[in-house]
Amino acid sequence: MLTIRPAELDDAPAIAQVHVETWRSAYGDIVPRDYLDSMTVANRTLVWVRLLERAGSTVLVSEDHNRQVIGFVSGCSLRHRDDRFEAEIAALYVMARHQRDNHGRRLFLAAANRLATAGLKGLFVWVLADNPARLFYEKLGGSVVAETVRTFSGKPLREVGYGWEEIPRYGD
C-alpha cells in the first residue's frame, strides 16, 4: 500500500534518515566521502525540523504498508531567479529498495499539484549531472533548461536543471 501525506514535525527524524541513506547510496561514487560522512541523521533532523516549522514549503512523505516513512519530497517557491519558473522541487528521495514502487512519481506529482494549486507557474528541479536517476525527471516530461557547478567538500560537480513550463498535475 502506498500512502502519501503531509509531513508533520514528528516525521523529521524519519525524513532525515531517508535523506542520509539515499544520499550515501545514490551519490557514493559521485560526491566526496567526507561530505557524505558529514551528513548525519542528527544534523539532518535539525534541518528538517526548521523546514517543517517554516511556512511556505510543501513537504510530503510516502509510507510503506507498515507506516514507515520511505520517501519524501520538498517543494517551494523557486530559490533562484528564472522568469520561466516559479516553483521548485527542492528535494525528492526514496529509499533504494522502494525506488521501483512508484513512490517517487507519486511524491513528485503530489507536490506538483500542491505547488500549482498555490498559484505557482512553471516547475524546476536541480539534479547532479552524474546521477543516473536524473532520467526519472525526463520520463516525467522535464527538459534540461539550465546548468551550474556546485562544490561539495572542494570537489566541483555539475548540476543540470530540469524545467516544466506547465506544472505536471494528476488527472491532466
Among candidate residues 71, 65, 133, 134, the one with its CA nearest the CA of residue 103: 71
What is the CB neighbour count within 10 angstroms for residue 69? Answer: 20
Rounded-to-integer distance, Cα 117 and Cα 110, Å: 11
CA nearest 63: which of 124, 154, 2? 2
Structural domain total, the chain: 1
Q: Classify residue 94: in a domain, yes or no.
A: yes
For residue 171, is it within any domain? no
Domain assignment present for residue 80? The answer is yes
Residue 37 pLDDT > 60: yes
Alpha-carbon separation of residue 3 from 22, 46, 52, 120, 151 (angstroms): 19, 25, 19, 25, 35
Asked, for residue 65, whether it belongs to a domain, the answer is yes
Q: Considering the domain boundaries, does residue 144 fall inside one?
A: yes
Confidence of residue 171 (pLDDT cuts 50, 70, 90): low
- The DSSP string of 71-107 is EEEEEEE-SS--TT-SEEEEEEEE-GGGTTTTHHHHH
Please give the pLDDT value at position 170: 67
Q: Is residue 169 a part of any domain in this protein?
A: no
CATH number for the domain spanning 81: value is 3.40.630.30
Asked whether residue 172 is assigned to any structural domain, the reply reads: no
pLDDT at residue 151 tops 90: yes
- Helix ranges restricted to H, the chain: 12-26, 33-38, 41-53, 103-117, 135-139
DSSP classification of residue 113: H
In this predicted model, what pLDDT tens digit does every residue of 78-87 receive, in sequence order? 888 888 999 9
Residue 101 burial class via C-beta count within 10 angstroms: exposed 0-12, middle 13-18, buried 19 and up:
middle
Contact 146, 109 (CB under 8 A): no
Domain of residue 25, residue span: 3-164
Q: Which three cell numbers stand for residue 71?
A: 520517501
The pLDDT of residue 55 is 80
pTM here?
0.94
What is the pairing mode between strands 155-164 and 143-152?
Answer: antiparallel
Between 102 and 39, residue with greater pLDDT:
39
The answer as to whether 170 is a domain residue is: no
